[in-house]
Chain A
Amino acid sequence: MMIRICLADDHAIVLEGLRALVDGEPDMTVVGATTDGDAVEALVRREAPDVLVLDYELGGRRAPEVIQALRQGEQVPRILILTAYHDGETIRSALESGAEGLALKTASPQQTLSAIRQVMAGQLVFPQAARRWLEARQASRSDEVTAREREVWGLIAEGLTNVQIAERLALSENTVKFHVQHLFQKLGVKNRTEAALRHATSGRVPRGPTTG
């Protein structure tokens, strides 16, 4: 089976090189490529690739932001982030963004090819050193949004503040804060606006056991 790949990198020379290399592999084909961070979603929608190789910094947009936008869509490809930086913050944010793997531009492009095959095979490809965060991600993935969190989420989407939510649900403000914090972690969002936006498409995120 051919792995269908889209490439997104704002360095045209990198795209050109990687495209030639990938197309030279018997089991891979590049179905689309872009240097424009704002064009990634449209490209993925159009081509529905198996794997998206995504530069960590794509013009003004960073990979986590692009991934979050992609997750609003119907079809989310497996995502391999390509970066020159292997510092803790980059590794961690790549992991937390929900990407399947990380490949380095300061290593052989051959390793990028291997990583594409690994994420295609369902593996998570991150440095061993990131295990502490990997475990946390796996734990939080198995955590579903609880009924209470879903309730809080709905009120956030209505534009209520924590104080107002506390009043409405007869909870203390601290308890609400606690639920909001966990909800954001589970949804992978940074703020209320993102949580509210996500609420509009909440059919695609894990539901609590007692919702309906």
Chain B
Amino acid sequence: MNDSCLQIKNLGKDFGPKTALSGVTISLEKGEIMGLVGPNGAGKTTLIKLVMGLLHPTGGSIQIFGKDRNMLSRNDWRRVGYIADEPILYDFMTVRKLIDFNKNFYPRWDEDRCRELLLRFHLPVGEAIKNLSRGMKTQLALILALAQVPDLLILDEPLDGLDPLRRLEFLNLILEDFTRQEGRSVLISSHYLEELERIADRIAFLHEGELKRVVPMEQLKVEEKTIRVVFQKEPPAALLAMPGIKAVQKEGKTGYLITIEDNFNAIYEACCSYPHYVLEIYHRNLEDMFYDYAGRDEDGRS
């Protein structure tokens, strides 16, 4: 498992009596893009802040590049790029000044790339940061993070405040950098599920401080389905208890809405093999799964 650049084990964080995060274990592999998804208050920002050292964990451990995060050297930290939710930068500085300030922390700084991106985004270098729009600040934060040439990029809700075109542009830029060199990894939390679906290798679902599920993107598409079936007669109970079935909802006398998270083909075949009037497949996407977890009670899982 030395190929993971970020390893979180049993991470917990309490704020007084309130538990923001508990028992989170997750691993980000080298060369992977992972999406972090969950409703507001699920603990996504808390998790990221714990990794970045803004918060101190109540329990558990965090390893970055194979070392405990408290043992990382300054050079190790230089390999980590970060964009906070709502990137607030020093308002009193100009764009150029902030870049120069930031540059001094990173010997690997790619000034050419920085300039190229400034041009691409048409960011006015002499402008005071307080005069930039929200979208431009996000772009600037991204430039700062990318020009740093990080091996691990951590983004906390970076797409907020960007219009759809800029969102895609933003992601494209991340992909550009991601593909420039092997072994770069990205952890990105976002509400923009459709955008995440495009670029993530795996998605981690967080809800009420707990990691509910980590699923590879492909599995999401291939296995996560809902079948609506109306049988001619009551089917055997074994069918509805097949592995991979997440939930079953009765509709009418012999109708069922079956939510599947794995083993789709076998379940589908099984449904086909019993006489039925209706057999429909609904493809579930990230949004559906999100509502699943976000709208669920604590003991709703079967």
Pair from one complex:
no
Interface residues of chain B, those whose CB is within 8 Å of chain A, are none
